[in-house]
Amino acid sequence: MHSVAAFTDTYLPTVNGVTYTVKTWRDRWQARGGRMDVVYPGASGYSPDDGEFPVRSLPFPFYDGFRFGLPRVPTGVAPVDVVHAHTPFALGLAGSRLASRSDAPLVASYHTPTGEYASYLTSRGPIEDRIEALSERYERWFFSKADAVVVPSEATRRYLLDEVEVHERGPRTTVRVVPNGVDVDRFRPVDGDDFRQRYRLGDRPLVGYTGRHGYEKCLSDILDAVAGLDVTVVFGGDGPARADLEREAAERDLDARFLGFLDREELPGFYSALDAFLFPSPVETQGLVALEANACGTPVVGVDAGALSGTIEEGVTGYHYPEGDTAAFRDAIRRTLDEGESLQESCLARRAATSVENAVDELGTVYDDVLAG
């Protein structure tokens, strides 16, 4: 098994899909006998294990919870076969420098379209457009330097090639689809009644979402869609949009519950308690929480945009609706609730296909290929 140094701008104790992916890939890689060091922005609340190297970091003032790690390579990082950058920014640049210095191939993961977050920097449309254009230009420069670029879905691959215009330079510089994968040992059906009772969620049909409450995820569309339905809607997680969502739900007198951050151990219970997971975000590169919900037997109603167009299998693991169409969103929720039993069965039948073990198999193939050169 190859030795790898992974550089990421988000890691524990920060909780998000990138953190979980990097941590799970590392755990699985090392369980197979490989080594995967991780360099990440240091923060209070987490003590690093062996092979985890926090660097000095600064808070990002426009996006709560995100920190910039200074672009340095810790002295404890041993020579490696492959460098894997999970960010194009400061620590990604440090990884690129290590790859050049040690003549190791550089693999870069594309987790997030950074231009989508320009609205956190300004509310002025022309400036926002300019920031988005600059972000894409920077991404094009960084990812075109890599020996291979890893993306979690075919939709994201097409976006990177067609919109960002990252150019493949022959068989050694390719954009490869490696799904993030789900830890199906952790995410499996459990008795959801315990979760309902613990949080006093009642007996009505339960729909909801967990994850970051960011404005770019269009979570207010959920409130629009459930208006008039006999359901309880529950939100797990936190983020800058939460206060506005709570205020809107109260003004509309909706049966909406906001649980805040849920420990990772609670998520299987959360997903299993739901009758439908609602996912209106058009900016996902895969939508890991949708696959986690499916692995627990819960169908997903998601927007037909971005990676969710492919992550959700229509009529198998859930249903889509056109972006911005509230009536269609509401109808898709109704249909999912009506077909709950059959959708649950088909979700569970797909568990093995989404396992993180498959993802790590494919990741290993990428590493083999870049080393073969």
Does one domain contain both 330 and 208?
yes
Does one domain contain both 221 and 288?
yes
The contacts of residue 190 (CB under 8 Å, 6+ apart) are: 268, 269, 272, 296
Report angle CA 222, 215, 166 to the nearest 5 degrees.
115
Does one domain contain both 91 and 149?
yes
CA pair distance 170, 369, nearest whole angstrom: 12
- 187 within domain boundaries: no
SS3 147: coil
Does one domain contain both 162 and 290?
no
User: Greatest CA span in the chain, whole angstroms?
Assistant: 61
Does one domain contain both 26 and 36?
yes
CB 367 within 8 Å of CB 107: yes
Does one domain contain both 346 and 364?
no
Does one domain contain both 57 and 177?
yes
Q: Radius of gyration of the chain from Cα atoms?
A: 21
Single pTM value for the model: 0.90
Amino acid 123: pLDDT: 55
What is the mean pLDDT of each successive set of 10 residues along the chain, which is 373 residues long?
96 89 97 97 93 91 74 93 96 97 96 65 64 85 94 93 81 83 96 97 97 94 97 96 97 98 95 98 94 98 96 98 98 98 98 96 97 89
Does one domain contain both 50 and 160?
yes
Q: How far is CA 5 from CA 78, 87, 162, 338, in A?
A: 8, 13, 29, 48
Does one domain contain both 145 and 230?
no
Torsion of CA 343, 216, 57, 45, to 10 degrees: -40
Does one domain contain both 50 and 168?
yes
Does one domain contain both 338 and 363?
no
Task: Domain of residue 52: give its range.
Answer: 3-181+355-372
Amino acid 127: pLDDT: 67
CA pair distance 235, 239, nearest whole angstrom: 11
Does one domain contain both 167 and 196?
no
> How many structural domains compose the chain?
2
- 186 within domain boundaries: no
Amino acid 312: pLDDT: 97
Amino acid 320: pLDDT: 98
Residue 338 maps to which CATH number?
3.40.50.2000
